[in-house]
Amino acid sequence: MRLENKVAIITGGAAGIGKATAERFAQEGARVVLCDVNETVGQATAQQIGGDTRFFPVNVADRAAVQAFVDAVWNLYGRIDILVNNAGIVRDAQLVKVQDGARVGQMSEADFDWVIGVNLKGVFNCAQAVAPYMIQQGGGVILNASSVVGLDGNFGQTNYVATKAGVIGMTKVWARELGKYNIRVNAVAPGFTATEIISAMPEKIIASLKAHTPLGRLGQPGDIANAYLFLASDEASFISGETLRVDGGLVVGT
């Protein structure tokens, strides 16, 4: 019961890594509050986990909605011990795509802005809403979802890589700014993980992802959840400003 009676907010908690983290935190005694844009799946996840798990429909890119959500959690429990900034999306495309000397495609401005809004601004919105409450109560833990591609780059993911690299930078800044308030801030950088998105890919693509991973398999959502659990617990009480790779030794290629 490493998180007994802790109140944990998990964004993007309806499915995938967010769901696995919610399940793991609940097993360790946390009172889990999920938010997601998918209300139907989010409600089902909260019911499946059971106990004191709650769900709120929230778009993390919407500052007002985030603030209202965080205020509601504080009013409900009187504390917020852990924030897991897990919500994220992908909209992949090359910067420019050229064929026979002519440009035939490029990443759209809308897709760039959308990914930045959720993956980067969303993390900023949630952390900024939660931090004052953590300061008021004397401490807390903020955990941010980065990615190995935020460290290494990846073909066709200008927008996504920019957000995940940005999250690492914000993590380091917040660790410095919030440490004096007993708030630890860390990031987790998953490799290729068997979430619903990847599991739906063609087997040829999945085989390629495994081939780039020295351990020879995809990560499981539970692998990432266990990393979040460690960093959220008192076992990591002297760890802040770090980015933990959970990637099976992944080598990202082009």
pLDDT tens digits along 115-173: 999 999 999 999 999 999 999 999 999 999 999 999 999 999 999 999 999 999 999 99
What pLDDT was estimated at residue 253? 62
Task: Report the distance separating Cα 213 and Cα 249, nearest Å.
Answer: 6
Number of H helices and number of E strands within the chain?
Answer: 10, 9
Q: Which residue has better confidence, 22 or 212?
A: 22
Which residue, 27, 23, 21, is CA-closest to 2? 27
Task: Report the distance separating Cα 19 and Cα 44, nearest Å.
Answer: 11
Provide, rounded to the nearest whole percent, the portion of the chain with pLDDT above 90. Answer: 92
Q: Which amino acid is at 116?
A: I
Mean pLDDT of all residues belonging to the chain: 96
Question: What average pLDDT does this structure show over 44-73?
Answer: 98
pLDDT tens digits for 238-253? 999 999 999 999 876 6
Task: Report the distance separating Cα 134 and Cα 114, nearest Å.
Answer: 29
Locate the DSSP E strands across the chain. 7-11, 31-36, 54-57, 82-85, 96-99, 102-106, 140-145, 183-190, 243-246
Residues catalogued as catalytic = 160
pLDDT at 112 over 70: yes
What pLDDT was estimated at residue 251? 75
pLDDT tens digits for 180-195? 999 999 999 999 999 8
Element (H, E) at 207: helix 203-211
Q: Which amino acid is at 160?
A: Y
DSSP codes, 11-63: ET-SSHHHHHHHHHHHHTT-EEEEEES-HHHHHHHHHHH-TT-EEEE--TT-H
